[in-house]
Amino acid sequence: MQKNYGIKFIGIGTALPSKVVKNTDLEKLYDTTDEWIYQRTGIRERRVVEEGKESGFSLSTQAAKKALSMSGVSPADLDLIIVATATPDNLYPSMSCLLQGALGANSAIAYDLSAACSGFVYAVITAAQFIYCGTYKNILVVGLDIHSRFMDWSDRSVSILFGDGAGAVVLQSTLAASDEILGYSMQSQADSKSDLVLTNHNIFYPARNVKISPNFTKMNGKAIFEFGLKIIPETINKTLAPTSLKISDFDYLIPHQANKRIIDSAAKKLGFPNEKVISNIEKVGNTSAASIPLALKDAMDTKKIKVPCKMLWVGFGAGLTWGTVAVNWNLKL
Ligand code: ACO
């Protein structure tokens, strides 16, 4: 597309609930072990909201405030807020409108975007379009998910994986020649076999006087494993094909933190050395739309990455949805 402007990342912020649930805590819920979970997933612990104390609203507000403070952009100067989430606190109002109110971002347009674990990548690409064509200057993107509310905590095949969290970035328009997004692509395909599903039938429908028995996140683990492994190399190759860049030009790969075994196998397939693959899944589990900004900020905090650098962000998840953003990252703490 014709780009009239470029994108600059000027702020990042994250938030996690304070309650830690370790694998050893799950040993008390069902027949499992810390070692089994760690070997199969790379996860040792995850964070879970405490109802009444924390929520999607509180986490996204904390993450957004930190990102805005780093960016130096006043909430009043935000043009657009996109919250990527598949697990909002309410069906409506949207998380983004609630966040707009909390921030006092009175000039912004606010809407949510639902693309499950690809949500952050989809939202950054969506925000970029508004900047490229010159419609907006300052955009806040938040990845947020609170999966703990939708877990069957007696199902050992799924509840071992997920954690709660939020991550935010601020994008600002700059000269087209200085664009920090080096390439992107997104794709979707109907999950015809229902390999990863969360319905909202676990609510009481007062108008119909119907109460349907609870539904929780349902996953065909093997199918999702194969899906992740297949699409990570494919989406990266699709993203880089129209550019002059090669995989070896990138310093870091930050895949959606679904599962360490998927990440490691995909990196091996791509020939990406382990030290260049960013992962914090051990400490936070799979935080869905929040996982890429949480892994990125953790890598910045722990000095795992040297800035400036080139990175590949790869999202994949329910829908099915997937996509990549290739980034020239210049933001220092
Ligand atoms: N602890 C101990 N044993 C377990 C557990 C557990 N938590 N869960 C399952 N098992 C048992 C099973 O009952 C089975 O026992 P059996 O052989 O006696 O029947 C055995 O372990 C093997 O079960 P599998 O389901 O074949 O286990 P698998 O090796 O496939 O591992 C896992 C399961 C970890 C879910 C794996 O399929 C996986 O990693 N899938 C990827 C899914 C994923 O990462 N999703 C992320 C969320 S979606 C997203 O972000 C896009």
Task: Quick: pLDDT tens for 145-163.
Answer: 999 999 989 999 999 999 9
Q: Are residues 168 and 207 in the same domain?
A: no
Q: How confident is the model at residue 66 (pLDDT cuts 50, 70, 90)?
A: very high
Among 43, 256, 259, the mutation site with the greatest number of ligand 1 atoms within 8 A of its Cβ is 259
CATH number of domain containing 201: 3.40.47.10
Q: Is residue 210 part of a domain?
A: yes
> What is the number of the ligand 1 atom nearest to the C-alpha of 317?
51
pLDDT at 101: 98
Q: Which residues are catalytic?
A: 117, 256, 286
pLDDT at 205: 65
Q: CB burial class (10 A; 0-12, 13-18, 19+) of residue 164?
A: buried
pLDDT at 4: 87
How many angstroms separate the alpha carbon of residue 221 from the centre of ligand 1?
A: 6
Q: Are residues 65 and 171 in the same domain?
A: yes
Contacts of 160 (CB under 8 A, 6+ apart): 23, 26, 32, 37, 40, 41, 43
Residue 3: both structure tokens together: 């780009």
pLDDT in tens, 224-243: 999 999 999 999 999 999 99
Q: Is the pLDDT of residue 209 over 80?
A: no
Q: How confident is the model at residue 206 (pLDDT cuts 50, 70, 90)?
A: low
Q: Are residues 287 and 313 in the same domain?
A: yes
Give the end of a domain, one of 133, 155, 178. 178
Q: Are residues 128 and 201 in the same domain?
A: no
Angle between helices 119-132 and 291-301 (to 10 degrees): 90
Q: Are residues 130 and 271 in the same domain?
A: no
Q: Are residues 70 and 204 in the same domain?
A: no
Q: Is residue 317 part of a domain?
A: yes
Residue 226: both structure tokens together: 């194969």
Domain of residue 161, residue span: 6-178
Q: How far apart are CA 62 and CA 99, in angstroms?
A: 10
Q: Are the C-beta atoms of 79 and 44 separated by less than 8 Å?
A: no
Q: Is residue 1 part of a domain?
A: no
Q: Are residues 159 and 206 in the same domain?
A: no
Q: Is the pLDDT of residue 190 over 80?
A: yes
Q: How far apart are CA 171 and CA 128, in angstroms?
A: 8
Q: Please say whether the dihedral angle defined by the alpha carbons of residues 45, 51, 54 and 56, taken in this order, is positive or negative.
A: positive
Domain count, the chain: 2
Q: What is the mean pLDDT of the chain?
A: 95
Q: Are residues 253 and 134 in the same domain?
A: no
Q: Are residues 241 and 276 in the same domain?
A: yes
Q: Is the pLDDT of residue 292 over 90?
A: yes
Give the end of a domain, one of 114, 144, 178. 178
Q: What are phi and psi of 60, to 5 degrees?
A: -70, -35
How many angstroms separate the alpha carbon of residue 31 from the centre of ligand 1?
A: 13
pLDDT at 216: 87
Q: How far apart are CA 159 and CA 115, in angstroms?
A: 20
Q: How far apart are CA 26 and CA 320, in angstroms?
A: 29
Q: Are residues 102 and 232 in the same domain?
A: no
The candidate with the shortest Cα–Cα distance to 124, out of 171, 86, 77, 191, is 171
Give the end of a domain, one of 125, 154, 178. 178
